[in-house]
Structures are given as structure tokens and as C-alpha cells.
Amino acid sequence: MRKISMDSLSALFEAISGTMPLFLPVDGKEGASYKKWEPGTEYSKALNTNKSAKDFFFPQVENMMAFKTEGKNIEVLDLKEDVGPFAIFGVRACDLASFSILDRVFLSDPVDSFYKARRDNAVIISVACSRPQETCFCSAFSIDAAAPGGDVECVMADGMVYLEAKTEKGEAFLKNLEAVTEASDERAAEAEQAKIRERIEKLPLANLSTDAFGGGKTMEYFNNPLWDELSANCLGCGTCTFVCPTCQCYDIKDYNTGKGVQRFRCWDSCMYSDFTKMAHGNIRNSQKERFRQRFMHKLVYFPENNEGIFGCVGCGRCLAKCPISMNIVKVMKTLGGADNA
């Protein structure tokens, strides 16, 4: 384990930036977001960025290919950007857990080469959540916010940052930082981790249970009349899907640039009325059906197809951002019965 004082964080960031681009949460007018570090950039103490760290691997918009036509000939141009090594500092346990959910989607056959190139090149430096928020419930999904993992795991305590390599990539990364860090034992970091776990046990959603959900529950919940009440005020704005680290739906479109056609993909949302619209029409015609799809996917369909793993990591972003204060916790409590009362 290595350590560095919080006051010297800029020296750590400078040393990392000397070898690869470094991205980290930075405060802005409307909350924290990931930015590229440059001298003078301050690391945000905010628990969560507005948008999650999934954007590094699955950006909101990206060009895929272009088509150039000349008479009857079509030339296909590969627009995939070259991706080199880059580091992300400050990833929280929930966002880190979301990567393994996204991996199941994008790294399964057929592998998404755009996503894979970024995953392969990233060094992920996580930070334990010393101050978890009232909207956090990652523990419901067996995520340990005190030990988030990644390539390097950081615990901040008493003005120090403790860094521990968790992968071979992380070991090589930390070795390169020995000039700005010093060796440490684990005691201070472990003491802080124990305190974090105590704080998590006292959070309002600490006892939220997933027991009522999982694979094989489609018939139990699909026609439940409570969906009417739960979805009644949903605006279909898609905010919950855009801030969610595990939502991974996208659309692919062609755009005439005037000099040819460019194909790009962009995030889509199952909450939108034209989502899944096909030649014969739309299979989900009401907001209730769209709303039900989002939560059934996370709580029933995804675990059914992924060895029981839920499609939510309890980051709490949808609790904080939904304009009508509807969210997955309310759905779990309403449908889940006594376990979640």
C-alpha cells in the first residue's frame, strides 16, 4: 500500500498526467462532472457526478462509420477513434459495479469493439465513500462502498489518501507513482473502511431488500395493477435512464452531412414514446408499459439472464434527479411488500 497527503493530490495528478490523460470529478455550477485534469484543476469532494462514469466507455454520442458515394460505388470509412491508455480517478463503488453489468452487454458475443477498446485502455482508480448519502443503497446489491475495487483502490482518511493496487495493471500504475507516494501499512485505511461500513448500516435505505425480485418473477409482477399508480405521473423525460450507470440502450442513425452519410449511435431511453418503434408500429404504446419495462428489466429480466445479477447498483442518481420524485426504490417498496416497508 502507498500513501500521499491530501494536500499533495495535485502532485499525484501531475505525475499520472505525465504518463496518460487523467480524468476526475470536478465541481461545476450544476454539480460534479468528469473533466480532464490540467494544472489547477481541483478534485471534487462530491459523492456522485451528475452523469456516471459509464460515459468513458459508452459515450452519449459517437461516430461509427461514414459512407462516401461516387456514382454506384460506396466507400465505407471506419470512424473508430484510436484509443490510448487513460486513467479515471475517483470512481465510486456503485459506478465501478456498473462496469461489470455493462461488460455483460457489450463484451458478450458479438463484442462491441468501440466499448472494448476503451475498457482495455482504462486504468480505474476508485475512491471509497467516506460520506455516503441518504439516497445511496448499493449495499442492497452486495456492493461494498468501503472497498470499491478497480485497478487501484483509494481510501481517504485523516488528510491522507491510501492507495492499494487491485490488479496487475494497478500494480504497474502505482509503481510509476513511487516518486510522489510513500509506503504505508494498512491500519489507517482499514480503520476508515470499518467506519464507512458502520455509516452505511445507518443509512435510511440500509435495509432495502431485493429478496422479492429476481429471475422467474415476470408473471408475478407483469400484470400487477400497482404499475398504473406508479407510472401515473411519469413524464417520459428519460432523465432516470440518462443518469443511470447501468442503462445501456442506444439507437443507431445515419446522417447526411452534405458530403456523405455518417452513421452514429446515441443513447436512447425505454421511457421514450418512439423507443422500440418498428415498421409495424410500437410495441409499448402507453407510458405505463414503458415505465414497467425499465423497472422489470432491472429487477427481473436482467437477473433472469445474468445469474441473478440485478441491473441496478444503488447509486441513487434517479432518486435525486427524477422531476416527479419517482424512482426504483419506490417501485421496490411498492411492489416488494413487507420486506421493504
Tell whether residue 243 is a contact of ligand SF4 (CB under 6 A).
yes
* 238 is a site residue for ligand SF4 (CB under 6 A): yes
Does 245 bind ligand SF4 (CB under 6 A)? Our answer is yes
- Smallest distance from ligand SF4 to CB 297, Å: 10
Asked if 293 touches ligand SF4 (CB under 6 A), the answer is no
Are 133 and 321 spatial neighbours (Cβ–Cβ below 8 Å)? no
Query: Closest approach of Cβ 249 to ligand SF4, in Å?
Result: 13
316 binds ligand SF4 (CB under 6 A): yes
Instruction: Give the one residue of 122, 140, 157, 244 binding ligand SF4; rule: CB under 6 A.
Output: 244
Beta carbon nearer to ligand SF4, 123 or 318 = 318
Judged by CB under 6 A, does residue 132 bind ligand SF4?
A: no
Question: Which residues lie below 8 Å from residue 161, measured CB to CB, with a gap of 6+?
Answer: 3, 4, 5, 6, 9, 12, 154, 155
Beta strands in the chain (DSSP E): 2-5, 22-28, 31-36, 61-70, 73-78, 86-91, 122-127, 152-157, 160-165, 182-183, 250-256, 261-267, 277-278, 281-282
| 332 in contact with ligand SF4 (CB under 6 A) | no
Residue 306 near ligand SF4 by CB under 6 A: no
Q: Measuring CA to CA, which residue among 153, 150, 149 is closest to residue 164? A: 153
Alpha-carbon gap, residue 22 to 187, rounded angstroms? 28
At 67, the amino acid letter reads F
Shortest separation between residue 288's beta carbon and ligand SF4, angstroms: 11
Which residues make up the interface to ligand SF4 (CB under 6 A)? 234-240, 243-246, 271, 298, 312-318, 322-324, 326, 328
